[in-house]
Structure 1
Amino acid sequence: MTDPARQHTIDIPEIHLTDPEVLRDPFTAYGRAREQSPVARIVAPGFGPMWTITRHEAARAMLSDPRFALTANTYQQIDVPEHCRPYLRTMQEMEGPEHTRLRRLVSPAFTARRAAEFRPRIEPIVERLLDDLPNHAENGTVELLRHFAQPLPIDVISELVGIPEADRPRWRRYGAAVAAGQGRQLAEAIPGIIADAKAAVAHRRAEPGGTDVISDLIRTQAEDGDRLSDTELVAFVWQLVLGGQTPANLIANAVDTLLTHPAQLAALRTDPDLMPGAVEELTRWCGPQLLTFPRYAQEDVDLHGAPIRKGEPVTAAIAAVNRDPRAFADPDRLDVTRPAGPAAHLGYAHGPHFCLGAALARVQTEVALTALLRRFPNLTLAAAPDDVRRDLDPGTWRLTSLPVTY
């Protein structure tokens, strides 16, 4: 018998995360659902009820609605030594006054102005990686994902945060463990991650006066009456370094997209000043996140006709909202000259948990693409577009390889 409390007041579409067509072309699948309803059900083996918002205005509203909260601490479920557990609760999983306090303390290090000031330190990192690309070439082909897009963000965020250079190879390995998901590899890496975060803080305390984030936060501890605790500082450092790797997938997607849209690539080569707007358009059109982190209903909610029960997860379908014709003109067309409009893409989410590192990701991507196109005017894909491999991940639009000739 059907539970009357679960009967839908609207015809709610279902998106099956194991459907090959959803995995192959999520933009079409989520777009079809968007035009049927502002809410869809996500269906996958092992999942309980899960919902997603498919339209731009509705997604913005949900992401700033206090009835939906990021309350699940996934890291706490990992089997790690007891002394590590206090450092596993991250700002991403805090809400209300606790989140507001911590966000206020750390946000000054991540403003657009600070990201722009950091550009001269990003540029030599990019140039070094591009200098090294020919050393990785085989028969005129180089794997751009492995040798450029992936190492760049961890090197940039390590420089920004203040990780000693000698320790950075270990952080690259930690990043790979986190990317592998919540398995044995991650559990084994957690003690080292926390130990190295503590060591980075101790190093900066021993050498004060730096221009990195850890030095800023240590000064905040000393000067602000609402000071960071040592545990919060260490937790923030490791979360920031590992979370700061996300531009890797955006850069790779952007390069792949430009190389398969020659008119857009030519426009950028002709006028490099288009790059800041182009990065926004590429993030909207081929950003790596397909779904936001789930928010959990804090009470029973009727959401656009869908009966959401307390405790059920709700996401925003970035793949749908960033191509919503209600928000963007001709949304399925890539246009690097697209003027800024009243609606902004949600590639960095929205509301209290808007991505703290968004400004840095933007600047880093601008620098990376500008330098790559300048250095290699003959850059082309070394495989047919349909042969460029993607990870069949229902939450992330990402490449597993990006072979190019230059």
Structure 2
Amino acid sequence: MTDVPEIDLTDPAVHRDPFAVYGAAREHGPVAKLVGPGFGPLWVLTRLAEARAMLTDPRFALGPGSYQALDVPDHCRPYLRTMQEMEGAEHRRLRGLVSPAFTARRAADFRPRIEPIVDKLLDGLPADGADLLAGFAQPLPMEVICELVGVPEADRPRWHIFGQNVVAGSGESFAAAVPGIIDGARGLTTPPASEFLELLAGTDGLSEPELVTLVWQLVLAGQTPANFVANAVEALLTHPDQLAVLRAEPELWPTAVEELMRWCGPQLLTIPRQATEDLTLHGVAIRAGEPVSAAIASANRDPRVFTEPDRLDVRRTEGGHLGFAYGPHFCLGAALARVEAEVALRGLLERFPALRLGDVRRAPDPGTWRLAGLPVSF
């Protein structure tokens, strides 16, 4: 059996610089083992080609979601199982029905609806400085989701609270948000409250329960841009040469968003799959039922694919990163997330050309590369 490096998720080095820790494991071989209190081994693929192969290998399947165990009213349960928990024909059917609403063209068409949201959030920042995470990056994704699905202005503060509780990830506040989201979504889908929902509910489209479930999925997954925008702001302010390039050549912003997602995207690991049988993966014996993930933090800096992978380069054209995952479960909202991030970053950095970082701290989270706050002065 191949010798496999172990990464202890309680090691402060993982929280301080996961890219270096996972990078060292990557140079040892394509498979590493994550260990930590409370769970058995989690196998991870550390190189890009091998990670992509695993994410498209039918021997690895997504397990049942944890949301069914939430203490929520019975009427909410039929809506909690999203496409993220489906495989095979069931997943392909739903993915095929919703994909036309998430194309790059539709995301670009939605840009004029995102721009005033960004402007309004920037207008509300105090002139003497702010925490951009709390005051800008965190409220942005939920406001975009509300605009997308047609939540009335008067109801949006309540949806922001739901989003904050979902970001908490567990506990009573999370469970308490579920009926608010589900009941609110049911009110938006009959009749559809937005062009987006109308498109999805068209002829041979999604059923009402499927529409409600999609809104639930958007709230679950749609919070990710908050951490990405915050990471990207910090990255550009600490790499003024790259920010200067963007200010001189703003046409590079779409390329820069892609590079920032590769270099400082918030997800360190993909959602774990489970081996459906006993198998050997790159010389490592894995038993049926054991979880396997792709180490995004490592694969996105694989020198076999990216030139000088640890360098942030907003001109980089090498693609193929795993920031939006890969394969059948590639992020459905990737195009919208790209547009949202570009509008947010460009709007912020053009509005405040003298933006300066305060004392930035990272949250000790082994699964997500995120900030605990983003204090700035203008």
Return the TM-score normalized by structure 1: 0.91
Q: Secondary structure at the match of 1:49?
A: strand
Query: Could you say which residue in structure 1 is the equivalent of 2:119?
Result: 127
Deviation, structure 1 residue 49:
2.1
Residues 1:355 and 2:326 are matched in the alignment: no
Q: Secondary structure at the match of 1:199?
A: helix
Output aligned runs, 1:7-406, within 5 Å: 9-133=1-125, 136-137=126-127, 140-204=128-192, 210-211=194-195, 213-219=196-202, 223-224=203-204, 227-338=205-316, 340-341=317-318, 343-383=319-359, 388-406=360-378
Task: Work out the number of aligned pairs and report it.
Answer: 378
- Counterpart contact for 2:149–2:188, Cα < 8 Å: no
Corresponding letter in the other structure for 2:174: L
**Residues 102-126 of structure 1: CA deviation (Å, up to 9, x unaligned):** 0100110100111011111111111
CA–CA distance in structure 1, aligned partners of residues 85 and 333 of structure 2: 16
**Residues 6-30 of structure 1: CA deviation (Å, up to 9, x unaligned):** xxx2110001000011111100000
Deviation, structure 1 residue 168:
1.5
- Counterpart contact for 1:154–1:242, Cα < 8 Å: no
Corresponding letter in the other structure for 1:358: A
CA–CA distance in structure 1, aligned partners of residues 226 and 55 of structure 2: 25
- Counterpart contact for 2:189–2:208, Cα < 8 Å: no
Corresponding letter in the other structure for 1:196: G
Structure 2, unaligned stretches of length 5 or more?
A: none
- Counterpart contact for 1:125–1:156, Cα < 8 Å: yes
Corresponding letter in the other structure for 1:365: A
**Residues 138-168 of structure 1: CA deviation (Å, up to 9, x unaligned):** xx22111111111111111211122222222
CA–CA distance in structure 1, aligned partners of residues 187 and 241 of structure 2: 49
Deviation, structure 1 residue 189:
1.9
CA RMSD of aligned residues (A): 1.2
- Counterpart contact for 2:79–2:212, Cα < 8 Å: yes
Q: Secondary structure at the match of 1:400?
A: strand
Query: Could you say which residue in structure 2 is the equivalent of 1:4?
Result: none
Deviation, structure 1 residue 187:
1.6
CA–CA distance in structure 2, aligned partners of residues 161 and 187 of structure 1: 22
Deviation, structure 1 residue 95:
0.5
Larger radius of gyration: 1
Structure 1, unaligned stretches of length 5 or more?
A: 1-8
Return the TM-score normalized by structure 2: 0.97
- Counterpart contact for 2:118–2:140, Cα < 8 Å: yes
